[in-house]
């Protein structure tokens, strides 16, 4: 199968290494500012690493470390998402969040969390008390003692958003090269030449947004890295859509020093998820799940919302967060070497990405380079796959329903296999359409999807034996 | 085949699902002279699960000969069409409302259909990996039997070559036949219990095909990068590994009851299907249900006969011969009982063919008893296993007048 993406040509102003949500957002920002931009991704599609498996929340930053770069990027990213989302047809499920204390010790900490939220500029966060909490969340266990309301925390589509960012970059002249891991590179004092299996790419600046491999890329091409990636695994279980009515808000725990803790939230696709765990793992390639931990997550959810007992689990997955030994984002420019590292984006990358992109652009402007920002950039509109909005099957002429669980149409699948950024593999097709992601996990549609995609994607199935009746 | 006609806005009976049960109900309704029978089928052809199942185990009782699944499905649809049933394919019911109002989407658009009666016959599906909480990596090559059948029989694709088969229910042996048909060689069959769940003669099939059967073995995790490379198993507390390139999860069927769960109809968490009385009537008397939606799992032939039976009750109802629900007695699950269908019975109405269907949740041996207020109404000695069919004829239960609750369970 041919690797997808355009072929690199000439000298780029910037080469972005890594097609996670951060790389996609940075590509968008640079393309909009008029820079000749190329994004290099080692996998066959974007979002192959940490960005494909997160809790899909739009964070306000109420609990971020005051004065941190993370807080600034999350605040800016939050604002920009809300500003552009209607134009790009990106969904928003306005849930708000409740941060619930379950014992005396946790209750005692709510005051400090509230003060920190206000100090962080999230001024609508307020104490709500047990009565109001149980009024808002009638299915919640009555063991809940006290709570804080964070009205601005919402649920978004974790896959359409980054796809929209890169799509806007590409529609405004950027290039994206897939199956193109950076295997080496040389800086000649003016520009970098990066070696990939799909050819050399020459650029005046490299932005390392390689996520789990960010420290390794710095080591390989700069000789050292200021941080070490310590992958932190988060496992999630997704309940059947029948679970969604039991929870209105995002349900947050009182965070600990180390982690924001296990969250319960509806998804934009109409399910209810529980996760993530926070487990150290040395393997950077395989975020594997384990049955015992998944069972604990499911039990935990049923303790908080008793009606979830016995509820079917639709999907289970794990993601690796590219955490480092530092708490804050690690974003550094070495302008003499024409290199910017964007690393350690551990758990708020989905929200922070647009803010990170602006920050990186401001660092780049320090080089004194000037590009004319596009005066009338293209604004692609994304197809909607959110459950609470009108879906493709509501419109006649869709051909056939291919995935019945998620009501995915043939027309949606064809669209995801075409266009400027077609799906590069089955995972990419699933994330663009929801096909095979529902409660039957491909029982009905798996074979059909493969048959439709055959010849256009690498399908790991071949023809069956001799013809038969 | 795209059926681009719009649906009628009204009909007498709308049947949701064109599998053996739905087509059985449709045929019986026509035989009883009921017009305006519309079968709403989401796939491109009616026939249901047998359509995906290319090996010959179907049709002995219905057609007097052994047929392959697709041939059986084809005969049922042809018989229904010949009887004047309107089958609308590529139409999906997306919403059930009070008194037989349903929303249907088709390539022609979103429509509302108003039916005097609706029969739900949406069947079931197998529990996929996620519902079983099996951990490990997420490589390609993890399927259910149903998915495997679609690959092999509908799309002629071979998703892997050396799969491990998880489970030993009847359908697990269908997985063996399907794998063989697609030129795949299963490397092992694993089962948590002491021996195969299905009865002889299927039980010796693994040996016939040289597939090692590993009893008392649990699947712990799936390993692999792009594709499955191995599974980790645990036998009698000891961990082991089997090299393979695919995993077929078989059985653990669940009724496909999403429409019921998102509707006003009562749903039974233990059976996974709608709450019905002995006539298949749901909590809204405009709705009936039949087939594997009621409980997992019965054969296509059984579902077909059940569909016919319930189609007959719907005909009675439309012809004014089925009284409105009266004195309803609720059934309670006792020891070792996984599910009971129907969940309630109308005690004043005698229907000679009505049966109480049971499944157990463990291998059990003892006295199965039906009691009411401490009084034993019926009992039988029984030794049985999960997934086996147990029936109690309702005519054998003398239900006392003052009773509103029956208890069904094993006693020591």
Residues in contact with A170: Cβ distance below 8 Å, sequence separation at least 6, in sequence order: A31, A176, A420, A421
pLDDT computed for residue A465 by the predictor: 47
Of A312, A316, A399, the CB nearest to B107: A399
Paired tokens of B351: 């229907």
Q: Give backbone dihedrals phi and psi of A161, rounded to 5 degrees, phi first.
A: -65, -55
* CATH number belonging to the domain at A89-156+236-308, selected among 2.60.40.420, 1.10.10.10, 3.30.9.10, 3.10.20.30: 3.30.9.10
Bridge partners of residue B217, in order along the sequence: B235
* CA-based nearest distance B10→chain A, Å: 20
How many contacts does A have with B, using Cβ atoms within 8 A? 153
Domain residue limits, chain A: 9-88+157-229+322-376, 89-156+236-308, 392-453
A405–chain B nearest CA distance, Å: 9
User: Pick the residue with more confidence: B388 or A466?
Assistant: B388
Alpha carbons within 13 angstroms on the beta-carbon side of residue B319 total: 13
Q: What's the whole-number mean pLDDT along residues B316-331? A: 90
Mean pLDDT confidence for B135-147 = 92
Disruptive mutation site among A244, A310, A464, A469 for chain B (greatest number of B CBs within 10 Å): A464
Chain A contact for B2 (CB, 8 A cutoff): yes
Q: Do A312 and B90 touch (CB under 8 A)?
A: no
Reference A250, options A237, A234, A267, A235; nearest CA is: A267
Mean pLDDT of B351-373: 90
**Per-residue pLDDT at B351:** 75
| Residue A395 forms contact with B (CB below 8 Å) | yes
Q: Cβ distance B187 to B194 under 8 Å?
A: no
Four-CA torsion B198, B204, B205, B208, nearest 10 degrees: 170
The answer to whether A290 faces chain B, any CB pair under 8 Å, is yes
Give CA–CA dist A386/A372, Å, rounded: 36
pLDDT of residue A214: 97
Please check whether residue A388 touches B, CB under 8 A.
Answer: no
Predicted pLDDT at B233: 97
Residues of B in contact with A399 (CB under 8 A): 2, 107
Cβ separation of A460 and B225 shorter than 8 Å?
no
Distance from CA of B62 to the nearest CA of A (A): 21
* Per-residue model confidence (pLDDT) at position A1: 37
Q: Which chain B residues contact residue A273 at CB under 8 A?
A: none
Alpha-carbon distance values, A60 to A72, A77, B361, B363 (Å): 10, 9, 47, 53
Partner-chain contact A460 B140, CB within 8 Å: yes
Asked whether the domain spanning A89-156+236-308 has the same topology as the one spanning A9-88+157-229+322-376, the reply is no
Check the CA dihedral B121-A451-B178-B161 and report its sign: negative
Closest C-alpha among A221, A279, A180, A201 to residue A13: A201
- How much is the pLDDT for A466? 44
> What is the per-residue pLDDT for B305?
96
Residue ranges in chain A whose pLDDT is less than 70: 1-9, 369, 463-469
User: Residue B343 pLDDT > 50, yes or no?
Assistant: yes
Indicate which of B3, B90, B131 best probes the interface with A, i.e. most A CBs within 10 Å of its own CB: B131
Query: DSSP code of B152?
Result: I
Structure confidence at residue A3 (pLDDT): 47
What is the nearest CA distance from A439 to chain B, expressed in angstroms? 8
Question: Is A316 in contact with A292 (CB distance < 8 Å)?
Answer: no
Is residue B316 over pLDDT 80?
yes
Picking from B138, B178, B253 by the largest number of A CB atoms within 10 A of its own CB, the best residue to mutate is B138
Give chain A positions within 8 Å (CB) of B226: 460
Nearest to B227 among A241, A289, A460 (CB): A460
Q: Give me the pLDDT at residue B313, please.
A: 96
Residues of A in contact with B147 (CB under 8 A): 442-444, 446-447
How many other CB atoms sit within 10 Å of the CB of residue A396? 13
B344 vs A: CB within 8 A: no
Domain at A9-88+157-229+322-376, CATH from 3.40.50.1010, 3.30.420.10, 3.30.1370.60, 3.50.50.60 = 3.50.50.60
Residue B266: is it exposed, middle or buried by C-beta count within 10 angstroms (0-12/13-18/19+)?
A: middle
Domains within chain B, CATH numbers bracketed: 10-125+254-325 (3.50.50.60), 129-251 (3.50.50.60), 330-411 (no CATH)
C-alpha pair distances (Å), B90 with each of A363, A393, A434: 55, 12, 19
DSSP assignment of A148-208 equals: EEETT-EE--TTHHHHHHHHHHHHTT-EEE-S----EEEE-SS-EEEEETTEEEEES-EEE
SS3 A367: coil
Nearest to A290 among B146, B182, B221 (CB): B221
Provide the 10 A C-beta neighbour count for residue A127: 13
User: What is the pLDDT at residue B1?
Assistant: 41
Distances (CA, A) of B54 to A468, B105, B234: 9, 29, 33
| Chain A nearest C-alpha distance from B209 (Å) | 17
Q: Does B72 touch chain A (CB under 8 A)?
A: no
CB contact under 8 A, B220 and A242: no
Chain B, residues 41-70, CB within 8 A of chain A, namely 42, 44, 54, 68
| Exposure class string for A74-92: b at 16+ Cβ within 10 A, else e | bbbbbebbeebbeebbbbb
Locus of tokens 């975020």: A287
| Residue spans of alpha helices (H) in A324-388 | 349-365
Q: CB–CB of A460 and B54 under 8 A?
A: no
With bands split at pLDDT 50, 70 and 90, how would you rate the model's confidence at B2? very low
Q: Which of A340, A342, A12 is nearest to A204 (CA)?
A: A12
Token representation of residue A409: 């149409």
DSSP strand pairing (B163-166 vs A408-409): unpaired
Q: Which residue, among B258, B42, B272, B68, has the nearest Cα to A445 in the 3D structure?
A: B42
């Amino acid at each position: 199968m041919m690797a997808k993406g355009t072929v690199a040509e000439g000298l780029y102003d910037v080469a972005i290494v890594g097609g996670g949500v951060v790389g996609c957002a940075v590509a968008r920002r640079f393309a909009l500012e008029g820079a000749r931009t190329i994004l290099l991704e080692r996998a066959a599609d974007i979002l192959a690493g940490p960005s494909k498996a997160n809790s899909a929340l739009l964070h306000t930053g109420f609990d971020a470390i005051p004065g941190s770069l993370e807080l600034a990027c999350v605040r800016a990213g939050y604002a920009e998402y809300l500003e552009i989302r209607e134009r790009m047809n990106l969904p928003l499920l306005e849930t708000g969040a409740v941060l619930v204390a379950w014992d005396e010790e946790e209750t005692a900490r709510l005051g400090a969390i509230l003060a920190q939220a206000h100090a962080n500029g999230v001024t609508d966060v307020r104490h709500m008390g047990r009565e109001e909490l149980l009024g808002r969340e009638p299915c919640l266990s009555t063991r809940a003692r006290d709570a804080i309301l964070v009205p601005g925390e919402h649920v978004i589509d974790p896959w359409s958003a980054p796809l929209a960012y890169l799509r806007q970059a590409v529609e405004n002249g950027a290039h994206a090269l897939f199956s193109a891991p950076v295997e080496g590179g040389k800086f000649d004092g003016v520009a970098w030449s990066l070696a990939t299996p799909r050819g050399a790419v020459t650029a005046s600046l490299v932005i390392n947004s390689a996520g789990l491999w960010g420290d390794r890329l710095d080591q390989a091409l700069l000789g050292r890295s200021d941080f070490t990636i310590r992958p932190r695994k988060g496992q999630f279980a997704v309940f059947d859509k029948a679970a969604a009515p039991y929870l209105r808000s995002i349900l947050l725990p009182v965070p600990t020093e180390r982690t924001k803790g296990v969250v319960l939230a509806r998804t934009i696709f109409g399910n209810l998820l529980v996760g993530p765990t926070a487990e150290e793992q040395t393997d950077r390639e395989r975020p594997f799940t384990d049955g015992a931990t998944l069972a604990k997550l499911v039990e935990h959810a049923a303790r908080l919302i008793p009606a979830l007992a016995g509820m079917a689990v639709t999907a289970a997955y794990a993601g690796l967060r590219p955490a480092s030994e530092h708490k804050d984002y690690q974003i550094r420019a070495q302008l003499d070497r024409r290199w910017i590292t964007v690393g350690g984006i551990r758990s708020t990358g989905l929200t922070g990405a647009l803010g990170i992109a602006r920050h990186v652009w401001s660092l780049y402007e320090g080089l004194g380079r000037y590009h004319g920002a596009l005066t009338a950039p293209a604004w692609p509109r994304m197809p909607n796959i959110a459950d609470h909005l009108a879906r493709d099957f509501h419109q006649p002429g869709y051909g056939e329903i291919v995935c019945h669980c998620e009501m995915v149409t043939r027309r949606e699948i064809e669209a995801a296999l075409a266009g400027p950024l077609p799906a590069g593999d089955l995972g990419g097709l699933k994330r663009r359409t929801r096909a095979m992601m529902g409660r039957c996990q491909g029982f009905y549609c798996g074979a059909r999807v493969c048959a439709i995609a055959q010849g256009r994607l690498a399908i790991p199935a071949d023809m069956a034996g001799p013809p038969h009746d | 085949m795209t059926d681009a006609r719009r649906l009628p806005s009204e009909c007498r009976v709308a049947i949701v699902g064109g599998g053996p049960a739905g087509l059985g109900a449709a045929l019986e309704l026509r035989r009883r002279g009921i017009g305006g029978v519309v079968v709403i089928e989401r796939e491109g052809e009616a026939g249901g699960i047998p359509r995906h199942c290319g090996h010959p185990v179907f049709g002995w009782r219905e057609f007097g000969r052994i047929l392959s699944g697709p041939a059986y499905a084809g005969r049922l649809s042809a018989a229904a069409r010949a009887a004047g049933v309107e089958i609308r394919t590529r139409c999906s019911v997306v919403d059930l409302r009070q008194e037989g109002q349903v929303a249907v989407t088709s390539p022609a658009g979103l429509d509302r259909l108003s039916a005097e009666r609706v029969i739900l016959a949406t069947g079931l599906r197998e529990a996929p990996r996620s519902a079983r909480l099996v951990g490990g990596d997420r490589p390609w090559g993890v399927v259910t039997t149903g998915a495997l059948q679609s690959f092999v029989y509908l799309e002629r694709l071979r998703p892997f070559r050396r799969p491990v088969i998880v489970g030993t229910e009847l359908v697990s042996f269908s997985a063996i036949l399907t794998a063989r048909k697609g030129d795949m060689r299963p490397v092992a069959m694993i089962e948590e219990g002491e021996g195969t769940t299905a009865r002889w003669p299927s039980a010796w099939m693994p040996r016939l095909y040289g597939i090692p059967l590993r009893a008392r073995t649990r699947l712990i995790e799936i390993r692999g990068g792009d594709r499955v490379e191995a599974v980790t198993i645990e036998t009698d507390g000891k961990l082991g590994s089997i090299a393979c390139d695919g995993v077929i999860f078989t059985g653990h069927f669940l009724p496909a009851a999403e429409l019921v769960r998102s509707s006003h109809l009562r749903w039974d968490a233990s059976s996974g299907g709608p709450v019905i009385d002995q006539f298949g009537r749901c909590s809204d008397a405009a709705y009936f249900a039949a087939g594997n939606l009621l409980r997992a799992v019965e054969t296509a032939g059984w579902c077909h006969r059940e569909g016919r039976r319930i189609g007959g009750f719907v005909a009675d109802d439309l012809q004014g011969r089925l009284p409105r629900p009266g004195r309803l007695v609720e059934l309670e699950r006792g020891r070792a009982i996984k599910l009971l269908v129907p969940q309630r019975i109308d005690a004043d109405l005698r229907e000679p063919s009505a049966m109480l269907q049971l499944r157990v949740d463990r291998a059990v041996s003892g006295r199965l008893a039906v009691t009411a207020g401490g009084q034993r109404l019926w009992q039988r000695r029984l030794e049985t296993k999960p997934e086996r069919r147990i029936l109690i004829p309702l005519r054998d239960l003398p239900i006392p007048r003052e009773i509103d609750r029956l208890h069904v369970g094993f006693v020591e």
